[in-house]
Amino acid sequence: MSKQVRILKVKGPKTITTRASQISIFIPPNVIYRDLGINRNATEKDVGTDEKHADLTGCWLGDSKGMYDIAVLVAKKNTPTHPYPIFYYGHEEGHAIHVMGQAERLYDEAKAREMEFPVLTREKAREYDRKAREILAQPPTEQRLEDLCFLIHPLEREMVADINGLLTMINMKVHPDKIFPVRYAMERGFPISQAYFRR
């Protein structure tokens, strides 16, 4: 990893403030959480895979000595101040928040900012969290890692992560003219990361 990129590594159980969206979440006991930031020099080794990838941007799930290893990375070649990498940084962090059984924290934070999204009601958030915590209470296996990835429908999964992307844009003070269309579309159920930001 580049020496300029500050890496966050936390072993649960512990409560932390996320770096992108700045919300308080609980890292479960059986989890190691790594935030690798926005780093175009990252390698496959940094995210814990031996397979070659054209783009390492993502929320990576693995098994580290019997603990769930959850790593977040944005490897885009844009500068960190560009709004799209900022959105994706929050988006990938949102995946991590979700799979750690903390979706209700996303709901609460959005609600506190007077935002509501069809994909994440309080009831849905609690159900997502219950499923994630049931898996995380057991040792990681290949099947359980896959189950974590597919807690909910893939499109809904992306839309839940988008909420943290939007919160990150707000937290990092991206210009309101860029935030408004994102928020407007998301509140109407539009999958931002799958369309708007892929142009």
SS3 (DSSP) at 32: strand
Per this entry, what is the length of the chain?
199
Contact 103, 133 (CB under 8 A): no
- What are the tens digits of pLDDT across the range 131-145? 999 999 999 999 999
- What pLDDT does 6 receive? 76
Please tell me the distance from the alpha carbon of residue 188 to that of residue 178, in angstroms, as a whole number: 17
The string of DSSP letters for 110-135 reads HHHTT---TT--HHHHHHHHHHHHHH
Contact 75, 46 (CB under 8 A): no
- What are the tens digits of pLDDT across the range 130-185? 999 999 999 999 999 999 999 999 889 999 999 999 999 999 999 999 899 889 98
pTM for the predicted model, two decimal places = 0.89
pLDDT averaged over consecutive 10-residue blocks of the chain (199 residues)? 69 96 96 91 79 78 95 71 78 96 97 94 96 97 95 91 95 91 89 61
Q: Are strands 8-11 and 31-38 parallel, antiparallel or unpaired?
A: antiparallel
CA 166 vs. chain centroid, Å, equals 11
Please tell me the distance from the alpha carbon of residue 53 to that of residue 104, in angstroms, as a whole number: 32
- Nearest Cα to 11, choosing from 33, 40, 26, 35? 33
Expressed in angstroms, the distance from the first to the final Cα of the chain is 28
